[in-house]
Structure 1
Amino acid sequence: YPPIETLLRRGQEVIVQVTKEPISTKGPRLTAQVSLPGRFLVYMPHSDHVGVSRKIEDRGERSRLRKLARSILPEDAGGVIVRTVGEELTEATFKKEFERLRATWQAIEAAAAEAEAPARLHEDAKLISGIIRDLFSDKFESLTVDNREVYNEIRAYLDRVAPDLRNRLKFYKDTVPLFDRHGIGDEVQAAFRKKVTLPSGGYIIIEPTEALVSIDVNTGRFTGKREKNPEKTILKTNLDAAREIAKQLRLRDVGGIIVVDFIDMELQENRDRVLHELKSHLGRDRARTKAFEISGLGLVEMTRQRVRPSLFQSLTRLCPTCGGNGRIFTPATVVREIERSLRRAAASGDEKRVVLRVHPEIALRIMEEEPDFLKRMARATGLKLDLRDDPLLRQDEYRLLSGPAETDVTQKYAAA
């Protein structure tokens, strides 16, 4: 690609499309290669490419769809990609969808001619319409909705785009919440847990980090006591893990770099079998994935397309207690930090009397494990010390209060 400065100049107005939401500290990804998704087609006004989804595997059908697209596309009208649900697409449906998408692009161009940059020219379908457009097809027996407004929105969309699917849309009227009826609430909660158990009794640990997501596979209580060959036990656990990992990546919408630490296997044929199992289940994923060979250490490096923040990032925030570490200091560690803070206070020469406020867990630790702590520190520092417990403090938090007014001087003497 040529340098960006040869293509753009300061103050130039360009129509761009957001292809990836901002995630963490990274901003959104933009492209000037606009693509407008429909139910059956993706229209690309700046391209002449005609393609067919890779998930349509039948060669005859792929060839038919490609010929159909080329015969209907007007000259210099852009390019299209036939989506997976476009299998067995008819000429009438193709024309209708193409004309609608092309009209959308023309409306965008007209808006751009009048708007003053920066300006939003077009917004993609609402969340509900987008999900129905991209996912709902005749492969689903039914779609159940418990919100009348959402139900009417989906109904209107299906009336326009896919009337043959209207009878599969159901409105839920039961007093038992829909999620409770089908156990979905429990599954959502499970998607935030690090540990996922496997049918064999083993388990995997999923740990998101700033750079990548690590997944560790363990046999757990499954030791294969009836198996004399431990390699078979390890293989069974790894196969279970490969299937579950592919499922969890979809459920949690995990993207980016992923490293899986399978249990070490001695036989190359077993490594190949586990990798094949992983790749076959990843093939069901709508997001693009790529898994590399198992290394000598039993590690599999893979990538998964990331368009939006994962479920973990979208629905949770950093814990105010641990700052996202998932751990806090032990009572013994907190007591030692208090000791150092008191010594700093004594060395400053500004303090005479200090009230020490701590969480009840820390107060209990001092009274049971170090009952002479206050006397010892008073002798060592020359300060008058008093200990109080405060259940409103975090377990690894403490306060140093100075003088009769009990002024908070904790930050003055805490470690930098």
Structure 2
Amino acid sequence: MKGRTIVLDHLNGREAAALMVDGKLHDLLISADAPAPGTIYRAVADRPVKGQGGMFLKTPDGNAFLRQIKGMAPGDELLVQVTGYAEDGKAIPVAHRVLFKSRYVIITPNAPGINVSRSIRDDDRREELLAIVHDTLETVPHGIILRSSCENAEDAEIAEDLLSMISLADQVLNDDGTGPETLIEGDEPHLLAWRDWVEPAEVVTEDGSFETHDVMDAVDALEDPKIALSGGAYAYIEPTRALVAVDVNTGNDTSMTAGTKANFALAKVLPTALRTRGLGGQIVLDLAPMPKKDRRGFETALKAALRADSIETVFVGWTPLGHVELQRKRARLPVSELLA
């Protein structure tokens, strides 16, 4: 099946969205019981963490942890936004700078100015988008980012989205309540799919569509740690309590370049494999043997694949044993936990 299909349904009673590209699972979103990234709290500072430059905060969903607390004292109230999922037994990670993100715009209260996505290179369209902002708003009260999805969108839709997000930002920023409270809940999968999967696609919303569009088969395949790579090579992706281990093997290919080919094949598919499985944190790649002269090319290929991914991943470096270390944002919970 060629093309892009967005399938909105439920998995084990949880709201879920799947993005299928040419018949293969490209992305998967499943609602979780934990607070979703993007949730905004009115929080109360509780106690500082010595030696870490952070502060534990009280929220309606339990303790949160905030870094960079200069000038903050216990009892202070502040707005914070959930940035990811917490590890077991740890506090919710939050940031002090809140963002209001929608399909076409991002409102940035702490970063004034109007910015257009750099991926929009048509100068005329960039000027048109800036004009939409000035025609829609008498004053620009907050920073605004016009997302790449604006390039081919209707001007009226952009203006409507802009007004809606400005109104939401004003409502939250002018909140005069006291005590820990959830002011905005993070977006659920169906809304996230609308917000972030903006390329043209068929949208399917009927109940049971995961079965009729082969999503269930693709989800079941995620339980197998083994993934096939081109040329007969394969890799195992196995999360442990401490990290995610990725082991690359060349299969039946015994040629001199087998290891290099297998590693480059992994670089191409690794972001999708991690994204669909909901894996993050520390990731260690045990690559197939390849000459050291090929490391730079592999690193370039992997970094390019990671830049194209929607989840921030940092290439940390090479270990003395020749392993590659990555640090990936915990933007999602593991699929294995959500479907257990």
Output the TM-score relative to the length of structure 1.
0.58
CA distance 1:32–1:295, shift in 2 (3 Å)? closer
Q: How does 1:325-336 map to 2 (within 5 A)?
A: none
* Alignment check: 8 A CA contact 1:61 1:87 kept: no
The one-character-per-residue Cα deviations of 1:352-407 (angstroms, maximum 9, x if unpaired) are xxxxxxxxxxxxxxxxxxxxxxxxxxxxxxxxxxxxxxxxxxxxxxxxxxxxxxxx
CA distance 1:264–1:40, shift in 2 (3 Å)? same
* Alignment check: 8 A CA contact 2:268 2:302 kept: yes
For residues 206 and 184 of structure 2, the distance between their equivalents in structure 1, rounded to whole angstroms, comes to: 29
Among 191, 196, 205, the alignment partner of 1:134 is: 196
| Secondary structure in structure 2 of the residue aligned to 1:98 | helix
| Secondary structure in structure 2 of the residue aligned to 1:250 | helix
CA distance 1:282–1:9, shift in 2 (3 Å)? closer
Displacement of 1:32: 2.7
* Alignment check: 8 A CA contact 1:61 1:88 kept: no
Q: How does 1:11-410 map to 2 (within 5 A)?
A: 11-53=75-117, 56=119, 58=121, 60=123, 64=127, 67-68=130-131, 71=134, 75=139, 77-88=141-152, 92-109=156-173, 112-113=175-176, 115-135=177-197, 137-140=198-201, 142-147=202-207, 178-220=209-251, 222-224=252-254, 230-266=255-291, 268=293, 270-292=294-316, 297-316=321-340
Displacement of 1:36: 0.9
Which residue does 2:10 correspond to in 1?
A: none
Displacement of 1:37: 1.0
The one-character-per-residue Cα deviations of 1:178-204 (angstroms, maximum 9, x if unpaired) are 334333222212212222232322221
The one-character-per-residue Cα deviations of 1:218-248 (angstroms, maximum 9, x if unpaired) are 123x234xxxxx3222222222222232321
CA distance 1:263–1:298, shift in 2 (3 Å)? farther
Displacement of 1:70: 7.1
Structure having the larger proportion of residues in helix:
1
* Alignment check: 8 A CA contact 2:247 2:286 kept: yes
* Alignment check: 8 A CA contact 1:254 1:306 kept: yes
For residues 74 and 103 of structure 2, the distance between their equivalents in structure 1, rounded to whole angstroms, comes to: 37
* Alignment check: 8 A CA contact 1:205 1:216 kept: yes
For residues 23 and 85 of structure 1, the distance between their equivalents in structure 2, rounded to whole angstroms, comes to: 33
CA distance 1:82–1:256, shift in 2 (3 Å)? farther
CA distance 1:34–1:69, shift in 2 (3 Å)? farther
For residues 160 and 98 of structure 2, the distance between their equivalents in structure 1, rounded to whole angstroms, comes to: 20
* Alignment check: 8 A CA contact 2:84 2:329 kept: no
Q: Which amino acid aligns with 2:253?
A: T
The one-character-per-residue Cα deviations of 1:16-37 (angstroms, maximum 9, x if unpaired) are 2222233322221222322111
Q: Which amino acid aligns with 1:50?
A: I
Q: Which has the greater radius of gyration?
A: 1
The one-character-per-residue Cα deviations of 1:286-344 (angstroms, maximum 9, x if unpaired) are 1122335556643222222222322234333xxxxxxxxxxxxxxxxxxxxxxxxxxxx
Which residue does 1:345 correspond to in 2?
A: none
For residues 71 and 299 of structure 2, the distance between their equivalents in structure 1, rounded to whole angstroms, comes to: 43
The one-character-per-residue Cα deviations of 1:53-78 (angstroms, maximum 9, x if unpaired) are 45x16374785478447746655601
Which residue does 1:157 correspond to in 2?
A: none
For residues 61 and 306 of structure 1, the distance between their equivalents in structure 2, rounded to whole angstroms, comes to: 38
| Secondary structure in structure 2 of the residue aligned to 1:231 | coil
For residues 66 and 178 of structure 1, the distance between their equivalents in structure 2, rounded to whole angstroms, comes to: 37
For residues 298 and 70 of structure 2, the distance between their equivalents in structure 1, rounded to whole angstroms, comes to: 48
CA distance 1:62–1:208, shift in 2 (3 Å)? farther
Higher relative CO (Cα under 8 Å, sequence separation at least 6) belongs to 2
CA distance 1:23–1:86, shift in 2 (3 Å)? farther
Structure 2 gaps of 5+ residues are 1-52, 55-67
| Secondary structure in structure 1 of the residue aligned to 2:184 | coil
For residues 216 and 196 of structure 2, the distance between their equivalents in structure 1, rounded to whole angstroms, comes to: 23
| Secondary structure in structure 2 of the residue aligned to 1:121 | strand
For residues 318 and 120 of structure 2, the distance between their equivalents in structure 1, rounded to whole angstroms, comes to: 27
For residues 262 and 77 of structure 1, the distance between their equivalents in structure 2, rounded to whole angstroms, comes to: 50
For residues 92 and 27 of structure 1, the distance between their equivalents in structure 2, rounded to whole angstroms, comes to: 41
Structure having the larger proportion of residues in strand:
2
* Alignment check: 8 A CA contact 1:46 1:79 kept: yes
Provide the aligned C-alpha RMSD in A: 3.1
CA distance 1:310–1:61, shift in 2 (3 Å)? farther
Identity of counterpart residues, as a percentage? 26
Q: What is the total number of aligned residue pairs between the two structures? A: 275
Output the TM-score relative to the length of structure 2.
0.69
Which residue does 1:351 correspond to in 2?
A: none
